[in-house]
């Protein structure tokens, strides 16, 4: 990715890639906040009955639900509810953070590739508009040829890197 940023020359190309990068970062931020909020909500649901036992006590304790159904061989999950709760809550957050990390990288790579394709399209458009052709139509300027060549190479490298995903 760093190689692609160095390869771009004009401010317009950098602006296009920067726009896609900002859109990708916004999506990653929204995705991360949504998943962490959902995980926090999911983890807090199992504290409802113990919290109600403290706030509105009954003559008996309410049944406690773990976050996940687990079978600790050495611990009774009802007797040691808070120990198992901390372990399961930590495990849930680790799982969600792993999912967020992998998906964030995937989103970033996709938005970077989309930005490179947009830059390539912009280069083709600018080259086609600014290209000079002689009257007989056979002499194309070498500058236009080099720009097309660089665009094709960038397009091919982007396709190769995306095909790995």
Query: Which of 144 and 138 is assigned the larger pLDDT?
Result: 144
Distance between CA atoms of residues 98 and 35, nearest Å: 11
Ramachandran area for residue 137 (φ above 0: left; ψ -120 to 50: alpha; else beta): left
Distance between CA atoms of residues 119 and 131, nearest Å: 18
pLDDT band at 142 (very low <50, low <70, confident <90, very high): low
pLDDT band at 153 (very low <50, low <70, confident <90, very high): confident
Averaged pLDDT of the chain: 82
**pLDDT > 90 in the chain, percent:** 29
Query: Which of 101 and 161 is assigned the larger pLDDT?
Result: 101
Residue 39: is its pLDDT beyond 90? yes
Residues 10-28: tens digit of each pLDDT: 677 788 888 998 999 999 9
Query: Which of 42 and 133 is assigned the larger pLDDT?
Result: 42
pLDDT of 154 reads: 82
DSSP 135: T
Residue 4: is its pLDDT beyond 70? no
Q: Is residue 49 within 8 Å of residue 40, measured between CB atoms?
A: no
Distance between CA atoms of residues 120 and 7, nearest Å: 12
Q: Tell me if residue 150 falls in helix, strand or coil.
A: helix
Q: Tell me if residue 140 falls in helix, strand or coil.
A: strand
Candidates 46, 52, 91, 86; CA nearest to 65 is 46
Residues 52-80: tens digit of each pLDDT: 888 888 888 788 888 888 787 887 877 88
Indicate if the alpha-carbon torsion angle 103, 107, 112, 114 is positive or negative: positive
pLDDT of 91 reads: 93
pLDDT band at 3 (very low <50, low <70, confident <90, very high): low
Residues 117-138: tens digit of each pLDDT: 888 888 788 777 766 555 455 5
Residues paired with residue 133 on neighbouring β-strands, in sequence order = 140
């Amino acid at each position: 990715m760093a190689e692609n940023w160095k390869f771009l020359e004009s401010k317009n190309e950098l602006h296009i890639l920067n726009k896609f990068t900002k859109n990708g970062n916004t999506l990653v931020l929204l995705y991360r906040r949504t998943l962490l909020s959902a995980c926090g909500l999911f983890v807090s649901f199992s504290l409802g009955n113990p919290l109600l036992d403290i706030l509105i006590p009954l003559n008996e304790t309410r049944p406690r639900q773990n976050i996940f159904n687990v079978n600790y061989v050495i611990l009774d999950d009802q007797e040691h509810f808070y120990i198992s709760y901390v372990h399961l809550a930590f495990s849930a957050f680790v799982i969600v953070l792993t999912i967020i990390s992998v998906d964030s990288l995937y989103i970033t790579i996709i938005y970077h590739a989309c930005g490179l394709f947009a830059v390539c399209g912009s280069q083709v458009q600018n080259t086609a508009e600014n290209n000079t052709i002689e009257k007989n139509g056979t002499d194309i300027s070498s500058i236009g040829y080099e720009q097309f060549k660089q665009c094709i190479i960038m397009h091919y490298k982007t396709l190769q890197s995306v095909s790995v995903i």
